[in-house]
Chain A
Amino acid sequence: HFYVSTLRPNLLRSRALIQTLINAHHIDEVSLVDNATTAAAIVLQQIGRRFAHHRNDTVIMFRCAFPAVKKSIQAYVTRAGASVVEVDLPFPVSSNAEIIAEFRKGLSSAKSDGRKVRLAIIDHITSMPSVVIPVRELVHICREEGVEQVFVDAAHAIGSVSIDVQQIGADFYVSNLYKWFFAPPSVAFLYCRKSNPSSSETHHPVVSHEYGNGLPVESSWIGTRDYTPQLVVPAIMEFVNQFEGGSEGIMRRNHEEVVRMGKMLAEAWGTSLGSPPEMCASMVMVGLPSKLHVLSDDDATRLRSHLRDKHGVEVPIYYRAPKNGEKSESEPRDDHGLITGYARISHQVYNRIEDYYKFRDAINRIILEETSLQGCF
């Protein structure tokens, strides 16, 4: 009975709400899937099929693209014969211009020797290190340069920045609703521009009764499972509208607070932020004191566990390898050496200033008391 009378109409309601939120033109362009990882598989599987006919063409993406997405490219695109060109993300970064310049460089390389760039994967907000990317500009450049399809991986976007898919102009755009938009795990939307000729070739990899009826309909039934996270979108709207300014108000306050907290921490530790405030949304990268000696990805992981287990602080840590050598003036530094570790702090409505003080004090204590750092974490 639920299947027949409740599931379909409620999924449609959820999709309609998202369509409005992101300014999509047709509800057919909005599908609900589990998460961005699933959306990537959908888009890349479709791209991979096209490569069967055009080997040695290229795909371009950021080197810091989410690792799961990189694996998906390996599984569906590289395996089908394409080459991948990776764009370095300058970090720390001071302006959009730096990112745009790197991207143009990457595109040239991808197009070299007469190759066609079949796909560009662009993060809206990168994961680690976290920075807001000027997607609109980059998509525009892709169109100018003849890139065939553009897929924006905006896992963090909805609930953290405004989204207008007409302005952004990508062929595919995915965002998770359970990260910043208060949905339970897990639900994401995948937007597929109608005008993209591949949209009819895009399928959910878990094939069920609705195969061939369009991605939104295929995704709405992929066998018996719990679809409730996909059904609660209307309830989320009720929740956010309890806050002043609704979703916009929440986003704005999260941004202001995370920047404020980031600056507070950087000042307390004598470090710096990874990007200017206008290049972050509700997350910011805060340099960790060089005295912590975070010198590898492993160190970053162990520091994270140490903070969780011994100091009751949950925060992801990023290791940034020096690019140009220790003596270089362009490397980020504090008074004691190179900054090689960054914490990605977030702010959501449940956070309080005490959470960040606790983090500040934990780091200070580690430096003061736990002098044999190699041993402690």
Chain B
Amino acid sequence: MATHDHHLNGDTITNSTTNLAKKPKLSPSSTFITASEIQSEFSHHDPSIARINNGSFGCCPASIVKAQQLLQLQFLRQPDHFYFNHLRPGILESRTFIKQLINAHHVDEVSIVDNATTAAAIVLQRTAWAFAEGRFDKGDVAIMLHYAYGAVKKSIEAYVTRAGGCVIEVQLPFPVNSNDEIVHEFRKALEKGKEHGRRRVRLAVIDHITSMPSVVIPVKELVGICREEGVDQVFVDAAHGIGCTDVDMQDIGADFYTSNLHKWFFCPPSVAFLYCRKSPSCLDLHHPVVSHEYGNGLAVESAWIGTRDYSAQLVVPKVLEFANRFEGGIDGIKKRNHDNVVEMGQMLAKAWGTNLGCPPEMCATMIMVGLPASLGISSELDTMKLRTHLRDNFGVEVPIYYRVPKDEEVGVITGYARISYQVYNKVEEYTKFRDAVNQLVCDGFTCALLSK
């Protein structure tokens, strides 16, 4: 796949000026990783599948898996020694590495947890206590996006609604054409939340990149609006953030920010960071699995939550070595992934006579591509069935989104595929998908034909 020299418009992909981009020694051009070395690093992937869904579970190169296994064996060899002498310094090293990556000011602000789901539980549990202990009034509001991740919605239900809070959803248009549309809806929801000053908006939960449908949200702008409008705290759920889009804590300005490192940052499952801007309320944040370090700050609490395999958390700094084998390091990878996924998305939309779900500047390394209306996707169940059908009968792995037609819309596109692009992907995988769908259309396939 040829690299592209497009200069992108839009504020999602910019030249990063984080400390890390300045420091590392990038490979001299003669020793950049080759295409065949890349395939070798991912030779453990199932070769029979067009794996165009990095967004769901991420990927981990063989050299990182190997580094992880060494750590696991080191633990098993002498666990007490590992626990007393290696674990804590190792976690601190990982946290320091992440702090530099994301431009946090203090390493205390960076905790490592399993995944964004855990991070959400941490932030939301604090909200639940605030309601229980009377710091928040019943009926105070939490705002979230309608397209917030399902697990996070459940967490909000468990910890906010259940504690007496009121949840307001921001309705987002999809397909979407500009950031303004999103900002407009967000302001509307905030107004509703404040209800003419009768109640407080205690927490805004904003996705950096929504999952389904996938769109890059203008988080910096929304955080700014939250500050203007007196929202207590903002939690950015950037499960897809790091390695996918720019992640600069000072620039974004949120109180809490989480991102998975196993999705787009080449870490093994599973590891994520939770950034908590230094403030008095940080003292109130706790890992739900309480262990010896309870009360010593979230980062220290999270570094020991009982005996388990911490190797995924310890291997994080090794990713830099891998990323620097690519031209431009992680920033180069991000840029090329973006350019390629847009190119593939446009190729598919053209081949099928459909459209993209958002303009290129509103996507990062994933893009929503409309599927031909003739496929007859008319429910979420249809999307699951079609996805399975594509996996089992065409060897294509891609998640499908059902977009409910609005009133008076006829003959519209109701299904969108979320394609991803990561370093191991090749054009052939997308043409395989293109051809599979063309064949389905040709055969007169509709989802109604799939048995339950």
Contacts and interface: CB of A to CB of B under 8 A. Distances in A.
Contact of A209 (B129, B151, B269): B151
Contact of B117 (A67, A212, A223, A229): A223
Interface string B143-167: 0000000110011011100000000
A205 B269 contact: no
A211 B120 CA distance: 14
Residue from B308, B388, B397 whose CB has the most chain A CB atoms within 10 Å: B308
Interface in A209-242: 209, 211-212, 222-226, 229
Contacts of B351: none
A59 B403 CA distance: 51
Contact of B290 (A40, A206, A229, A308): A40
Nearest to B118: A206
Interface residues of B, number: 51
A128 to B, nearest CB: 13
A126 interface: no
Contacts of B214: none
B302 to A, nearest CB: 12
Interface stretch (B75-83, B191-199, B220-228, B424-432): B75-83
A223 B118 contact: yes
A223 B116 contact: yes
B306 A36 contact: yes
B290 A223 contact: no
A35 interface: yes
Contact of A67 (B58, B114, B121, B292): B292
Given A35-B307, A314-B80, A225 B154 contact: no
B159 A207 contact: yes
Nearest to B129: A79
A208 B117 contact: yes
B294 interface: yes
Interface string A42-65: 001100000010000000000000
A154 interface: no
Given A205-B289, A207-B158, A209-B150, A1 B305 contact: no
Interface stretch (A69-77, A107-115, A138-146, A248-256): A69-77
A35 B309 CA distance: 11
Given A186-B308, A225-B270, A207 B81 contact: no
B278 interface: no
Given A71-B290, A224-B260, A211 B154 contact: yes
Contacts of A71: 290-292, 294-295
B132 interface: yes
Contacts of A208: 117, 151, 154-155
Q: How large is the interface on A (under 10, 10 to 19, 20 to 34, 35 or more residues)?
A: 35 or more
Contacts of A314: 78, 80-81
Nearest to B310: A185
A337 to B, nearest CB: 29
A36 B290 CA distance: 11
A41 interface: yes
A176 interface: yes
Nearest to B306: A37
A178 B80 CA distance: 14
B122 to A, nearest CB: 9
Interface in B107-153: 114-118, 120-121, 124-125, 129, 132, 150-151
B385 interface: no
B135 to A, nearest CB: 13
Contacts of B76: 184
Contacts of B269: 224-226
A123 interface: no
Contacts of A38: 289, 305-306
8 contacts: A74-B290, A76-B290, A186-B309, A208-B154, A223-B114, A225-B114, A226-B268, A229-B309
Question: Nearest 9 pairs between A and B by C-beta?
Answer: A37-B306, A223-B117, A205-B288, A71-B294, A223-B115, A225-B270, A186-B308, A207-B155, A208-B151
Given A185-B309, A207-B124, A314-B80, 19 more contacts: A1-B391, A34-B305, A41-B288, A41-B290, A44-B290, A52-B132, A71-B294, A80-B132, A186-B307, A206-B117, A207-B158, A209-B154, A222-B117, A223-B116, A224-B57, A224-B115, A225-B270, A308-B81, A314-B81
